[in-house]
A and B are shown apart, each in its own frame.
Chain A
Amino acid sequence: MEKEYLLSVQDLHTSFFTDSGEVHAVNGVSFNLDPGEILGIVGESGSGKSVTAYSIMQILESTGKVVGGKILYKGDDLTKWSSKKLDKFRGKCVSIIFQDPMTSLNPVFTIGNQIEEAIKLHTDKKGKEASDRAAELLSLVGITDPEKRLRQYPYELSGGMRQRVMIAMALACEPDILIADEPTTALDVTIQAQILELIQELQKKIGMAVILVTHDLGVIAELCDNIIVMYGGRICERGTAREIFYNPKHEYTKGLLKSIPNVNNMKEKLIPIAGTPINILNLPKGCAFCARCENCMKICLDQVPVELSINENHKASCWMNVKEVFEAEGGKK
Chain B
Amino acid sequence: MSKSPLIEVKNLKQYFPIKTGLFKTEMLKAVDDVSFYINEGETLGLVGESGCGKTTVGRTLLRLYEPTAGEVLYEGTPVTDKNIFSMRKKMQMVFQDPYSSLDPRMTVEDIIGEPLDVHKLYSGKGERRDKILHLMELVGLNAEHATRYAHEFSGGQRQRIGIARALAVDPKFIVCDEPVSALDVSIQAQVINMFEELQEKLGVAYLFIAHDLLVVHHISKRIAVMYMGKIVETGTADDVNYNSIHPYTCSLMSAVPIPDPDFIRGRQRIVLEGDVPSPLHMPSGCPFRTRCKHACEKCAEAMPPLTDRGNGHMVACWVK
A joins B in a complex? yes
User: How far, in Å, is B206 (CB) from chain A's closest CB?
Assistant: 16
Which B residues, 39 to 58, have Cβ-Cβ distances below 8 Å to chain A? Answer: 49-51
Asked if A222 and B264 make an inter-chain contact with CB atoms under 8 angstroms apart, the answer reads yes
Query: B260 and A192: CB pair below 8 A?
Result: no
Q: Does A188 have its Cβ within 8 Å of any Cβ on chain B?
A: yes
Residues of A within 8 A of B124 (CB): none
CB of A219 closer than 8 Å to a CB of B: yes
Pairs A–B under 8 Å by Cβ, sample size 27:
A158-B276, A187-B50, A190-B252, A190-B255, A190-B272, A191-B49, A192-B257, A197-B271, A216-B257, A218-B214, A218-B257, A219-B257, A220-B259, A221-B258, A221-B259, A245-B260, A246-B261, A260-B188, A260-B214, A260-B259, A266-B214, A266-B237, A266-B241, A272-B187, A272-B188, A272-B190, A277-B184
Chain A residues whose CB sits within 8 angstroms of the CB of B263 once the complex forms: 263
Residues from chain A with a CB closer than 8 A to the CB of B264 are 218, 221-222
Count of residues in B whose CB is under 8 Å from the partner chain = 46
Contact with A along B192-220 (1 / 0, CB 8 A): 11001000000000000001011101100
Q: Is the CB of B214 within 8 A of A269?
A: no
Q: Is B154 an interface residue (CB 8 A)?
A: yes
Q: Does B186 contact A (CB under 8 A)?
A: yes
B118 within 8 A of A: no
- 1/0 per residue A229-272: CB within 8 Å of B? 00000000000011001100000000111011101001101111
B257 engages A267 (CB within 8 Å): no
A144 is an interface residue with CB less than 8 A from chain B: yes
B262 at the interface (CB under 8 A from A): yes
The answer to whether the Cβ of B274 comes within 8 Å of any Cβ in the partner chain is yes
Complex interface: chain A residues within 8 A of B260 (CB) = 221, 245, 263
A241 nearest CB neighbor, chain B only:
B261
Interface residues, chain A, CB within 8 Å of chain B?
Answer: 44-45, 142-145, 158-160, 187-194, 197, 215-222, 241-242, 245-246, 255-257, 259-261, 263, 266-267, 269-273, 276-277
B256 at the interface (CB under 8 A from A): yes
Q: Which residues of A contact B280 (CB under 8 A)?
A: none
Known contacts A158-B51, A242-B262, A218 near B256 by CB under 8 Å: yes
Residues of A within 8 A of B276 (CB): 158
Specify which chain A residues have a CB less than 8 angstroms from the CB of B49 in the assembled complex.
188, 190-191
B105 interface residue, CB < 8 Å from A?
no
Given contacts A218-B256, A266-B214, A272-B188, 17 further A-B contacts (CB under 8 A): A44-B186, A144-B274, A145-B275, A158-B276, A190-B251, A191-B49, A197-B271, A217-B259, A221-B259, A222-B265, A256-B186, A259-B186, A261-B217, A263-B258, A263-B263, A266-B238, A276-B156
Contacts of A142 in B (CB 8 A): 273, 275
Q: B235-279 interface mask toward A, CB cutoff 8 Å, 1 = contact, 0 = none?
A: 001100100000000011011111111111100010111111000
Would you call A44 and B184 a contact (CB within 8 A)?
yes
**How distant is the Cα of A261 from the Cα of B260 in the complex, in angstroms?**
11
Given contacts A221-B257, A222-B257, A222-B261, contact A256 B185 (CB under 8 A): yes
Please, how many angstroms separate the alpha-carbon atoms of A96 and B259 in the complex? 25
- B291: shortest Cβ distance to chain A, in Å? 9
* Complexed CA–CA distance, A23 and B237 (Å): 45
Nearest CB of chain B from residue A304's CB, rounded to whole Å? 21
Q: Which of these, B154, B215, B256, B261, contacts A189 with CB under 8 Å? A: B256
What residue of chain B has the Cβ atom nearest to residue A277's Cβ?
A: B184
B106 at the interface (CB under 8 A from A): no
Q: How far is the CB of A183 from chain B (nearest CB, A)?
A: 13
**Given A44-B186, A260-B214, A261-B217: A276 touches B154 (CB 8 Å cut-off):** yes
B189 at the interface (CB under 8 A from A): yes
Docked Cα-Cα span, A117 to B305, in Å, equals 49
A197 & B269 in contact (Cβ 8 Å cutoff): yes
Q: Mark B127-151, 1 if CB is under 8 A from A, else 0.
A: 0000000000000000000000000
B251 lies within 8 A of A218 (CB): no
Please give me the 4 A-B residue pairs with the lowest Cβ-Cβ distance, nearest first. Answer: A218-B257, A272-B189, A259-B189, A193-B255
Which chain A residues lie closer than 8 Å to B186 at the CB level? 44, 255-256, 259, 272-273, 277
B93 → chain A, closest Cβ, in Å? 23
Contact of B193 among A217, A220, A263, A270 (CB under 8 A): A270
The residues of A that contact B258 with a CB separation of less than 8 Å are 218, 221-222, 263
Contacts of A215 in B (CB 8 A): 184-185
What distance in Å separates the Cβ of A162 from its nearest Cβ neighbour in chain B? Answer: 12
Are B261 and A259 closer than 8 Å at their CB atoms? Answer: no
Hey, which chain A residues are within 8 Å of B271, CB to CB?
Answer: 190, 193-194, 197
CA distance in complex: A190, B251 (Å): 7
